Amino acid sequence: MKKLLASLALGLTLLTGLSGVGAQTSAETAAPVTATVVAAADTPAATPAAAPAPAAAPAAAAEAPAPVPNKGDVAWIMVATLLVILMVLPGLALFYGGLVRSKNMLSVLMQVMVTFSLIVVLWFVYGYSLAFTEGGAFIGGFDRLFMKGIWDNAAGTFANAATFSKGVVIPEISFAAFQATFAGITCALIVGAFAERIKFGAVMLFMVLWFTFSYLPVAHMVWFWMGPDAYTAPDVVDAMTSKAGLIWQWGALDFAGGTVVHINAAVAGLVGAYMLGKRVGYGRESMAPHSLTLTMVGASLLWVGWFGFNAGSALEANGFAALAFINTLVATAAAVLAWCTGEALMRGKASMLGAASGAVAGLVAVTPAAGNVGIGGALIIGLIGGFACLWGVHGLKKMLKADDSLDVFGVHGVGGIVGALLTGVFNAPSLGGPGYVADWVTATMVTSADYSIVAQVWTQAKAVLLTVVWSAVVSFVAFKIVDLTIGLRVSEEDEREGLDITSHGESAYGR
């Protein structure tokens, strides 16, 4: 009789615990933080369900079946991946292409397209493994070199990757593909800073070096962690957290890449602008964009694609994806209005170039905040980001005295920094933000009383500073290596002729 009562008591206890886990999952208590996962096979499974033991048998908990990806989540992450590709090809390519002079149009299209392709290949060879497998606080390991272990041919099964909800997974190959597009667009963004004067081969060599030694470590530091299912009990929390990337351990919030993508790329671009020097005739000859029509088309495609970039970073088709989606819409629209207003006050009229630039500024600023702030917070971030980037392009650029051809630092650097810092402010529950997960064992969100805006902003600032310094050092060394080996810059004659003809032997328009 005692054994029967003990068995029933244990069964009820386990059943109650299971109900709690189910409630947490259905409430979608995923972290409003960065889009990162680790292979579920490498992490402990979610708390298994347990059935009451038969009366005559010893109590024993039956193991729950392994989590199965939800078809809606899988479909969404694949659509999001396609949207990010749309951002680059043709979005970013046309945005940049319209901003340069007509004689350099194809050179920019080539640099964006080939850079993206190069990085995607490197990503699947070694990049994904170094960014998203367990290693150290600064870089991952080689467990997924050449994507090994992601597909079991004998069993006919795919490895799964964790999301931000306990027991919820997606196929790891879909996560790897999604993150490949992030790596590709980050490197392609850098192209705009030294457009119209760099050798095509120099671009390719620099990208290999910078991707390997800057993008991958920063991505690992910001986004790698062991996944929610690794946090099975309070006594394993410290051990699991110590396996995460350094900036993740600090508690910095970066939903979709304010540090990893925008600040990282912007600093590299600024270093490149200094090391290559100014374009021939800069400050003396007209270097106006040759097609604002193409720039507007490119900016529009960037805006559309950015919904996949930000909302896809939730990794699930859930409430946080919806929050990131609407914040991307609101912040961008606010930034367009802010830039146009500021431009009208400065020059007496607003411009199409200003509206397109404002859209990109808003998209950049909201990237780290997308699923981390409320709608009101996103609106304010967009407004501040629009005005800040306008100053970055017109005021800061003059102070820096660098020929950042397409204002990569003025928009992506300034916007990324503003967005990263303000994320720490508007993530606060008291300001309408969702907060962050304070306890991954129970998936409990931080309370308004326990949230410190000052502490979180300081954490965000540390992440920004580390990213700036890391990217600057790696970029300087990489550019120096390229300069000493194959040279960075085309000749003055080739630059005046235009890189379309001199570097690629073709012209965008009839001559």
Which DSSP string corresponds to 442-466?
TTEEPPTTT--HHHHHHHHHHHHHH
152 DSSP β-pair partners = 157
Helix (H) or strand (E) holding 437: strand 437-439
Cα–Cα–Cα angle for 119, 121, 88, rounded to 5 degrees: 45
pLDDT in tens, 195-206: 999 999 999 999
Pairwise CA distance, residues 245 & 140, whole Å: 9
What are the counts of helices (DSSP H) followed by strands (DSSP E) for the chain? Answer: 21, 6
Copy the structure tokens of residue 172. Answer: 């790891």
| HEC-encoded secondary structure of 369-414 | CCCCCCHHHHHHHHHHHHHHHHHHHHHHHHHHCCCCCCCHHHHHHH
pLDDT at 510: 74
Q: Which residues in the chain show pLDDT less than 70? A: 1-64, 511
Pairwise CA distance, residues 325 & 406, whole Å: 27
| HEC-encoded secondary structure of 402-426 | CCCCCCHHHHHHHHHHHHHHHHHHH
Instruction: Answer yes or no: are the C-beta atoms of 430 and 473 closer than 8 Å.
Output: no
The predicted model scores a pTM of 0.88
pLDDT at 5: 39
Q: How many Cα atoms within 13 Å fall on the side-chain side of residue 94?
A: 18
Task: Give me the count of residues in the chain.
Answer: 511
Pairwise CA distance, residues 11 & 21, whole Å: 15
Closest CA to 166 of 62, 47, 269, 277: 47
pLDDT at 52: 38
pLDDT at 451: 98
Phi-psi region of 439 (alpha: psi -120 to 50; beta: other; left: phi over 0): beta
Over its C-alpha atoms, the chain yields an Rg (Å, rounded) of 24
pLDDT at 62: 53
Distances (CA, A) of 348 to 130, 343, 418: 50, 7, 26
Phi-psi region of 474 (alpha: psi -120 to 50; beta: other; left: phi over 0): alpha
Burial of 113 (0-12, 13-18, 19+ CB in 10 A): middle
Instruction: Answer yes or no: are the C-beta atoms of 491 and 202 closer than 8 Å.
Output: no
pLDDT at 64: 67
Pairwise CA distance, residues 78 & 317, whole Å: 11
Name the phi and psi angles at 198, rounded to 5.
-100, 150
Q: How far is C-alpha 191 from the geometric centre of its chain's CA atoms?
A: 18
Burial of 99 (0-12, 13-18, 19+ CB in 10 A): buried
DSSP string, 49-81: P--PPPTTS---PPPPPPP---HHHHHHHHHHH
